[in-house]
Amino acid sequence: MEDIIKFMFDLDDTLVAGDVIADVCSKMMRDGLIDKLYTNLDVKNYDLRDLPANLAKGVKRAFADPDYVWIKRPISGSYYFLRFLSETGHDIGIITARPASTTEETVRFLAARFHHVTFRLGIHVINNNNQIDMTNIPTKKEKLEEIKPDFYFDDNTEYCIQGHDLGIETFLISNKQTPWNHEFAKELKVSNHPITVLRNVAFFPETRLK
């Protein structure tokens, strides 16, 4: 068999997607709390500053609600790519900044939506949202430094930079569903930066597995 390669993946908008913002906004519109529909495509900044304050607050609350885990679905090709990696003996791990309150449901979700995939590098819920005591919770950077994967995939520009700075070959997932990283993706392409831009994890070049 080829050498075992270690892959670490972010979860939301890297492997799975679902418009939590539109769902929360629709409910608020029915309650007369907001007068227009906002969706994922309206977000250009990770801190949700593009949204009305009451909607941003509602969305952050939804992100911490375990029930909202199930609104997400695997992005086309992501399940089959991870299953292929798993079945060919490579090591896979998940590292997500979801709130810790979603940990158990996230594990159940992955077992249901990514069945036949073995996460030998673990499922790491790294809460960076200051919703609980952060004292004993490592950051994504610390966890990446500990695991030392060969390849790392994320839609978050900050985490991609951190991965690259740790010497990990890093891929930014950027497509029409991730408007928050479009400008950074353009800069990477123009500057020929070593962080690679992919529209989908399934576009990872198979030649890199040899």
| Residue tagged 């892959």 (tokens) | 7
Whether residue 136 sits in one domain with residue 169? yes
For residue 124, the domain's CATH number is 3.40.50.1000
Tell me the per-residue pLDDT of 59-103, one tens digit each, with 9 for 90 and over: 999 999 999 999 999 999 999 999 999 999 999 999 999 888 899
Per DSSP, 203 falls in state G
89 phi-psi bin (left φ>0, alpha ψ -120 to 50, beta other): left
**What's the Cα-to-Cα distance from 17 to each of 5, 74, 153, 175, rounded to whole Å?**
25, 6, 15, 12
Residue 119 lies in domain: 6-17+72-209
How far is residue 159's CA from residue 140's CA, in Å, rounded to a whole number? Answer: 7
Kindly tell me if the per-residue pLDDT of 132 is higher than 50: no
Per DSSP, 3 falls in state P
Kindly tell me if the per-residue pLDDT of 130 is higher than 50: no
Residue 1 lies in a domain: no
Percent of the chain at pLDDT > 70 equals 94
Residue 207 in 3-state DSSP? helix
Whether residue 122 sits in one domain with residue 86? yes
Whether residue 145 sits in one domain with residue 116? yes
Whether residue 155 sits in one domain with residue 178? yes
How far is residue 3's CA from residue 88's CA, in Å, rounded to a whole number? Answer: 10
Domain count, the chain: 2
Question: How crowded is the C-beta side of 96, counted as CA atoms within 13 Å?
Answer: 24
Calculate the average pLDDT of the chain.
Answer: 91
Percent of the chain at pLDDT > 90 equals 82
Tell me the per-residue pLDDT of 178-198, one tens digit each, with 9 for 90 and over: 999 999 999 998 887 899 999
